[in-house]
Amino acid sequence: MSIIVSAIGQGLTWGVVGIGLFLTFRILDFPDMTVEGTFPMGAATCVAAIYNGVPPILATLLAMIVGMLAGLVTGLLYTKGKIPVLLAGILTMTAAYSINLRIMGRANLSLYGKSTLLDSFKGLPPYFNSVFLGMLVIFVVTGLIIYFLQTNLGQAFIATGDNPVMAKSLGISTDTMQIMGLSVSNGFIALGGALVAQNNGFADVNMGIGIIVVALASIIIGEVVFGELTMNERLIAVTIGSILYRFVILIVLQLGFNANDLNLISAIVLAIFMMFPAFEKRFKVRRTIAKGATRNE
């Protein structure tokens, strides 16, 4: 039971990262590589701040602000510096590695003996604190994004991702929308890094390797499992996809696979789910399942 609760808690925590990437990857149609730099940057900032006596809530917010600044740099490199999309993210990601080392003063830093946000939920059964914290953060983040997307600014943001040329013709500053999207997206990703670091009890400069695959897996799994959804429903599906992904990883590890193979397993899982629409179209999987359900009725 504890393993299942732990998987749900981790899924909720990582769901924040998936939602952050969803803003750029799905809405802005921007393949942002900054993710692998801002995730450990959020973790490093939060852990270093808590280690030096800053209250956990302020340390977490500080991590989010630092992540937003990293996203801002990528946005400026792309929109004002005219650097190609992927290269802009890679440049920021590379620079973030050195910045993270300076923030922590070493390659990794432990929170042993320090209070974290998880300590706010004392008296609960094992791992339930991560579930409650994850639910609270996901509820706030998802609610804010859903509200934002209903505003005029949010609609301009969506239009920029759908058709930048048309958006410009309507008087929308697409550069501003892209910079804003990258800043907010990386702020949420850094927030996810801060939460994961507090859950794990440490931060490491290499913890960002493969993060973009994990975040994409949350998005793709949610879309494949639930099919056609509205924008608001897709945001919720990202979190559910993150939890399902954690269960897939849990099952794989229970089958005896080595934990060192997690990045390989993550890539394989993502590839399978990304190929599923092609399999569905070719073999008519969903139609077959639907017919079977009808016959059983």
Distance of alpha carbon 242 from alpha carbon 25, whole angstroms: 16
Render pLDDT for 13-48 as a digit per residue (tens, 0 to 9): 999 999 999 999 889 888 889 999 999 999 999 999
Would you say residue 234 lies in a domain?
A: no
Render pLDDT for 226-237 as a digit per residue (tens, 0 to 9): 877 888 888 899
Query: Per DSSP, which regions of 112-261 are E strands?
Result: 202-204
Mean pLDDT of 72-94: 93
Mean pLDDT of 176-180: 93
Judged on CB neighbours under 10 Å (0-12, 13-18, 19+), 97 is middle
Would you say residue 173 lies in a domain?
A: yes
Percentage of the residues of the chain whose pLDDT score is greater than 70: 92
Task: Kindly state the helix (H) or strand (E) to which residue 109 belongs, with its residue range.
Answer: strand 108-110
Task: Kindly state the helix (H) or strand (E) to which residue 226 belongs, with its residue range.
Answer: helix 211-226
Would you say residue 114 lies in a domain?
A: yes
Would you say residue 168 lies in a domain?
A: yes
Neighbouring-strand partners of residue 294: none
Neighbouring-strand partners of residue 109: 203
Task: Kindly state the helix (H) or strand (E) to which residue 4 belongs, with its residue range.
Answer: helix 2-22
pLDDT band at 281 (very low <50, low <70, confident <90, very high): low
pLDDT band at 290 (very low <50, low <70, confident <90, very high): very low
Would you say residue 275 lies in a domain?
A: no
Question: How many domains does the structure of the chain reveal?
Answer: 1
Q: Tokens 């077959």 appear where?
A: 288
Which range of residues forms the domain containing residue 85? 2-209
Global pTM?
A: 0.88
Mean pLDDT of 85-107: 92
Better pLDDT: 25 or 296: 25
Render pLDDT for 105-128 as a digit per residue (tens, 0 to 9): 988 899 988 898 988 877 777 778
Would you say residue 102 lies in a domain?
A: yes
For residue 147, the model assigns a pLDDT of 93
Give the chain's mean pLDDT.
Answer: 86
